[in-house]
Amino acid sequence: MTKKRKTIPQKIKDKLLVDSMHRCCLCPQHEDITDLHHIVPISEKGPNTKENLMVVCPTCHAKIHRIRTMYTSRQLKMYKERWVKLCATGLPLDERLKEAPGIMLDSLHNQTPPEPNFVGRAEMLKTISRWYKDPKVRIGALIGWGGVGKSALVRKWYDSLEEKKIHPDGIFWWGFYRNAYLEPFLNALLRYVSQGQTDPHTIKSPWEKTDKIKEYITKGAYLIVLDGLEQMQKPESGDEFGKMVHGECRELLHYLADAPKTGLCLITTRFPMKDLDNWRDGSYKTLPLIDLSIPDALAMLRKRGVKGNDEEMKQVIEKYKGHALSLTSVAGFVKRYHNGDIKQAPDIEFVFGDKERFKDVNKLLRKYAEKMSESELVFLNIFSLFRGEVTEREFAGVFQHKIEGARFNDVLIKMSELDFKDLVEGLADWRLISYDETKKSYATHPLIKTYFESTFDEREKKLCHKRIYQYFGEQAPERPGTLEQMQPLFEQVYHGCAAGLYDEAYLSVYQKKIHREREYFIIHKLGAWETDLSLIRNFFSRGEFSQLPLVSEKSDQSWLLNEAGLALLNTGQPKEAEEHILTAVLRAIAAKDWINASGGYQNLADLQFRTGEIKKALESAKRALKLGEKGRFYESIIDSEAYRAQIHHLLGASKEAGKRFKEADEAERKAFGHPYRTKP
């Protein structure tokens, strides 16, 4: 028997309507209010209380339910509280409505946790504020090598916006260190600046999404933070160094540099922003981030509780070249093991320049490792394998979970809840990991992550990757419909391949759940070619397409090579695409895999057609047809005939085109009972 839903008491309805002035809490301009929305859904046992209900218009109500990832319960509550508070001010209605756009909530993705011991750099903070307030400045970049404190500086400035009376219409923060996929970034930004007017999942092309973002982003004075943008830049030396990998990112930056509206795009990166050179004397400003000054470093060490006279501290600061990350962790080290005595800091001389500073940092981390307990080392080894933020769910599901075939984490499994909590808090106080109270999650600096991943025993590392692969499989929804919902599957592919489970990750996750077999969901439905390309790289050694995929079946190798070519073609890299498609075709022919060989020639024909090589495309289509006939694969025969007809038509050979279309129709009718041009 279906349980009847409890009605909302009329007193609560009346109170909510009065408090919100009978207007939608999400878009207060709308006043024909008829709906109440549960902030915590009924399906999650959300009650019919005044605290859990908010007034919304029918349009916003439908949008909340249609696009379930648009707002969290916390965000909805904040929207309600801000509008109700504004209603209570007694201001005239038109003035309240003018203030209403300002209630747009921040959209924060992989945001850097706050640094509790941040000190100094006052002039740099003032410089960023000047950038924001200067209508001529549209983009500001903090450029410096790893560990100098770029992200911490931006987070400090973000946390002081209220104090500085800086009130953007909206704030969007994307951390590329933990999510360097193009499409999820564009989806999140478009969803935010359009405020739900456009559902990103209805637009397949990243270029179309970029155009839509450009359309909306000038309607407000936004603060856009792109943290760790080097993940999206070309790392090689030469003329290409620092250029954006994706044309869509480059186009968006160019547009922002020219945009007439106020606001600021704030970037942190290790690399120069080559694509913005033409704006350097105008709307684009840079702030080179160097190591901490001696006064700032002294203040930080004092704040951290380090003991010693100024001269002793200066000697350590100079030895470490004022490197912010290293000095912060050294403070934690001497506090932990030597009662804060600065004279006990590891005796290391930093000798490398900025580009190779990681070598100096590694020397310091080795010194730390010598003093660490077994449980701390194991914890950091496991932590280093995660690409995203880590929560208590991962602690239970991986760190303190039995790992098949391994005993190395027994030391964590045997720990009591209190002891494990002390371990985590100790590493956070040491600043080897950082905690974000608002998100209840932990993260670490890329330099620290890289070191502890490199020291992990290879066999144990693979077994741990396998457990993480299983863990994300347990977290993934059955049939995710968006890229955001697919994130656990993406992590499964990464960790499965890192564990050497190439065949399983390919067949059970990539093909079955991400592509949904012949539905090709991620590309045909979501249009996420860039994400698909990133996923494919996991199946190649070091992500290099110059080598064969590491799956065992030759037909699967051919398929991945062909898919890599298609992804390269659809992301604007036709030259690289042709090489991989040809390799896939030749391998398929050698294996007498006529189906994949025929499909490869069809893709090659498509590539040649797009690049204007019409006659070559016709020849490739002919080969696709012959191989399809050889394999008795009707879909390939039909599509090849139709493709040949289209090319003949473009070449002006109408008679031949008609003949080919007729043959495609006949083949379709023979195989499926209906002609090609009237497919159901």
Q: What is the mean predicted confidence (pLDDT) over 223-231?
A: 95
Read off the pLDDT band of 262 (50, 70, 90): confident
pLDDT at site 468: 97
For residue 228, pLDDT over 90 is answered with yes
Give the chain's mean pLDDT.
Answer: 86
Three-state DSSP class for residue 658: helix
Question: In this predicted model, what pLDDT tens digit does every residue of 502-559 receive, in sequence order?
Answer: 999 999 999 999 999 889 999 988 989 999 999 999 999 988 887 889 999 988 988 8
Helix (H) or strand (E) holding 266: strand 264-269
Instruction: Say if residues 528 and 522 touch (Cβ distance below 8 Å).
Output: yes
Three-state DSSP class for residue 110: coil
CA dist 532 and 366 (Å) reads: 37
Please state, for a pLDDT cut of 90, what percent of the chain lies above it. Answer: 47
Read off the pLDDT band of 7 (50, 70, 90): confident
Read off the pLDDT band of 97 (50, 70, 90): low
CA dist 648 and 615 (Å) reads: 9
For residue 466, pLDDT over 80 is answered with yes
Residue type, 373: S
pLDDT at site 675: 45
- Range of lowest pLDDT (279-283, 335-339, 473-477, 670-674): 670-674
Domain 107-288 superfamily per CATH: P-loop containing nucleotide triphosphate hydrolases (3.40.50.300)
For residue 153, pLDDT over 50 is answered with yes
DSSP 28: T
Greatest mean pLDDT among 480-494, 563-577, 658-672: 480-494
Instruction: Say if residues 540 and 559 touch (Cβ distance below 8 Å).
Output: no
pLDDT at site 622: 81
For residue 74, pLDDT over 80 is answered with no
Domain 540-678 superfamily per CATH: Tetratricopeptide repeat domain (1.25.40.10)
The CATH number of the domain covering residues in 374-456: 1.10.10
CA dist 505 and 490 (Å) reads: 10
For residue 190, pLDDT over 70 is answered with yes
For residue 680, pLDDT over 50 is answered with no
For residue 104, pLDDT over 70 is answered with no
Q: ∠ at Cα 31 (27, 33), nearest 5°? A: 95
pTM of the model: 0.76
Read off the pLDDT band of 269 (50, 70, 90): very high
Three-state DSSP class for residue 334: helix
Asked if the domains at 107-288 and 540-678 fall in one CATH topology, the answer is no
pLDDT at site 356: 79
Structure-token match 């955001």, residue found: 484
200 versus 451: the higher-pLDDT residue is 451
Question: In this predicted model, what pLDDT tens digit does every residue of 379-403 receive, in sequence order?
Answer: 999 999 999 899 999 999 999 999 9
Question: In this predicted model, what pLDDT tens digit does every residue of 276-327 receive, in sequence order?
Answer: 999 998 999 999 988 889 999 999 999 989 999 999 999 999 999 999 899 9
Domain edges within the chain: 10-103, 107-288, 294-371, 374-456, 540-678
**Which sign, positive or negative, has the C-alpha torsion 479, 481, 486, 492?**
positive
pLDDT at site 674: 45
CA dist 476 and 481 (Å) reads: 11
Q: ∠ at Cα 593 (591, 596), nearest 5°? A: 125
SS (H, E, C) 319-385: HCCCCHHHHHHHHHHHHHHHCCEHHHCCCCCCCCCHHHHHHHHHHHHHHHHHHCCHHHHHHHHHHCC
What residues contact residue 359 under an 8 Å CB cut-off, 6+ apart? Answer: 352
Instruction: Say if residues 563 and 532 touch (Cβ distance below 8 Å).
Output: yes
- Count the Cβ atoms, other than its own, within 10 Å of residue 364: 23
Q: Pick the closest to residue 110 from 259, 283, 231, 285 (CA basis).
A: 231
Q: Pick the closest to residue 445 from 217, 76, 46, 115 (CA basis).
A: 115
Q: Pick the closest to residue 422 from 487, 336, 481 (CA basis).
A: 336
For residue 455, pLDDT over 70 is answered with yes
Q: What is the mean predicted confidence (pLDDT) over 393-416?
A: 95
Read off the pLDDT band of 614 (50, 70, 90): confident
**What are phi and psi for residue 613, nearest 5 degrees?**
-90, 75
For residue 13, pLDDT over 80 is answered with yes
Instruction: Say if residues 109 and 173 touch (Cβ distance below 8 Å).
Output: yes
Q: 269 has which bridge partners?
A: 143
Structure-token match 């951290």, residue found: 304
